Structure 1
Amino acid sequence: MDLGLKGLKAILVGANGGIGRVVAHVLSAEGCDIAICGRSQDKVDNVLSEVAASGVKTYGEALDVTQVDAVPAFVDKAAEALGGCDIFISFTSTNLGEDTDAAWEAVIQADILPMRRGIAAARPHLAKSDNAAIVCFSSTGAVEEFMGVQPYNALKAAVMNYSSSLAQALAGEGIRVNCITPGPVMTEDGPWPKIQAAMPDFYNATLANMPSGRFTTGEELAKAVAFVVSPACKAMTGANIVVDNGYTKRTQF
């Protein structure tokens, strides 16, 4: 099936590694022009060189997403460099794993506000697109108990609500908004290889809760994202799509 992504412009915040990097690969393979940012210029340059092999236009820069003006400025420069914006996704995230003021502040500053600021900056560019799509990233930690009381889980639940509200508010502008809720995802440069080495008991307990006996791969998740943002999925907006390889056990209405 042709997803209709060829020639579309994707702006990806925090895609210099992990899930974001794999999404950049999959979208570029489908013919999307790609703009990314991240903390490390070396990593940004590496991902850009990888996706450029698909023959697409690229743009990237290193920045600190916790700075108020950083993400909006990047979005505007990326839209200018690519010639527009059809797809916007923010991947930035952090998790201190504790219920403290500092942990709440860290998630808000590194995860929630970059997403909100990026969407606000992308909105006028997306409004000019015939295939505008936003994806907000949540987590299965928002829907079932995971690693105890912590702000990451609570604030990822808020992302679901925010995404749903945005879908209603922006539908009249032709902008679709959906939420992707992954379970544990294995990427070569993501957190789970480090967890496997440093916390083998926790890693093995998590793996034991996978009915398939394996983690979701980054490419599997990225392909789901590619479909959701594609013109082939144009009727879907306001949805929360769980991609977790059966990790959560709730009935998903």
Structure 2
Amino acid sequence: MDLQLTGSRVLVTGGTRGIGRAIVEAFADEGAAVEFCARDAGEIEATEEALAGRGGGVRGGQLDVRDGAALTAWVAAAAGRLGGVDAVVANISALAIPDTEENWYTSFEVDLMHTVRLVTAALPHLEASGNGSVVAISSVSGREADFASGPYGTMKTAIVGYVSGLALQLAGRVRANVVSPGNTYFAGGVWQQIEQGDADLFSTALGLNPTGQMGTPEETARAVVFLSSPVASRISGTNLVVDGALTRGIQL
């Protein structure tokens, strides 16, 4: 299937590791021009070098998304370089799971407010696109209570609610969807860290997966790219769960 993304202009927050990196690669392989942001300059440079020549070009910018003014400025600069924006993906998460007051504030600023600020800054460009799309990365922890309930899970639930409202408010102008991955394993990721530091929790989590394995970043990235594409023109307001039947709740 041709996703009709050749020449499209895409912004991704958090594009150097895990799901974010896979999203950047997947868009580039579909012919899109991609700009991403991250905090670590070395990781940004390494990602740019690894993806040089892919798609319509891949460029990174150093940014802490908690800085609202800097995030807004990055969107404006990227839109200027690209000549517009067709799709944005709010991917960054603080992964602040322990239930502490500091983590509540951090999760609010990083997970939820960076999503809101990204959309607010990009919206004029998305509306001008004619094919504008917003995709936010939530989690199965935002869909049902689990060990990550608390700051992380609550903000992931809030993201689903926020994007559902956007879909209604922007209907006919810009599409807005959520992708909610189940536990996703990759080198250096949270589940590898849990595997090394809390073998019992890792074993329990792995045992809950009906497929007998955790997901890969690439599996989530494919869902994101599809929802962002013109091929998904009638899909807005959905929460696409990518979890291999991990969660049991029925979506009505």
Compute the TM-score of the two structures, normalised by the length of structure 1: 0.95
- State the alpha-carbon separation in 1 of the partners of residues 154 and 117 from structure 2: 20
| Letter paired with 2:98 | E
1:33 counterpart = 2:53:
no
Aligned sequence identity (%): 33
State the 1:69 CA deviation: 0.6
1:211 counterpart = 2:244:
no
Q: Secondary structure at the match of 2:171?
A: helix
Aligned to 2:121: 121
Q: How does 1:79-98 map to 2 (within 5 A)?
A: 79-98=79-98
State the 1:108 CA deviation: 0.9
Q: Secondary structure at the match of 1:131?
A: coil
| 8 Å contact kept, 1:25–1:51 | yes
**CA 1:171–1:149 in 2, change beyond 3 Å: closer, same or farther?**
closer
- State the alpha-carbon separation in 1 of the partners of residues 232 and 55 from structure 2: 25
RMSD, matched Cα:
1.3
Q: Secondary structure at the match of 2:236?
A: coil
**CA 1:210–1:67 in 2, change beyond 3 Å: closer, same or farther?**
same
State the 1:12 CA deviation: 0.6
Q: Secondary structure at the match of 1:111?
A: helix
| Letter paired with 2:11 | I
Aligned to 1:230: 229
State the 1:205 CA deviation: 0.7
- State the alpha-carbon separation in 2 of the partners of residues 135 and 187 from structure 1: 22
| 8 Å contact kept, 1:19–1:190 | no
- State the alpha-carbon separation in 2 of the partners of residues 84 and 16 from structure 1: 23
**CA 1:148–1:45 in 2, change beyond 3 Å: closer, same or farther?**
closer
1:146 counterpart = 2:146:
yes
State the 1:227 CA deviation: 0.8
Number of equivalent positions: 252
Note the alpha carbon deviations across 1:148-206, whole angstroms, 9 max, x for none: 6412111111111100100111124x210001111111222422111111111111111
| 8 Å contact kept, 2:112–2:158 | no
**CA 1:239–1:100 in 2, change beyond 3 Å: closer, same or farther?**
same
State the 1:22 CA deviation: 0.5
| 8 Å contact kept, 1:57–1:82 | no
- State the alpha-carbon separation in 2 of the partners of residues 186 and 10 from structure 1: 25
Unaligned 5+ runs, structure 1: none
State the 1:55 CA deviation: 4.2
Unaligned 5+ runs, structure 2: none
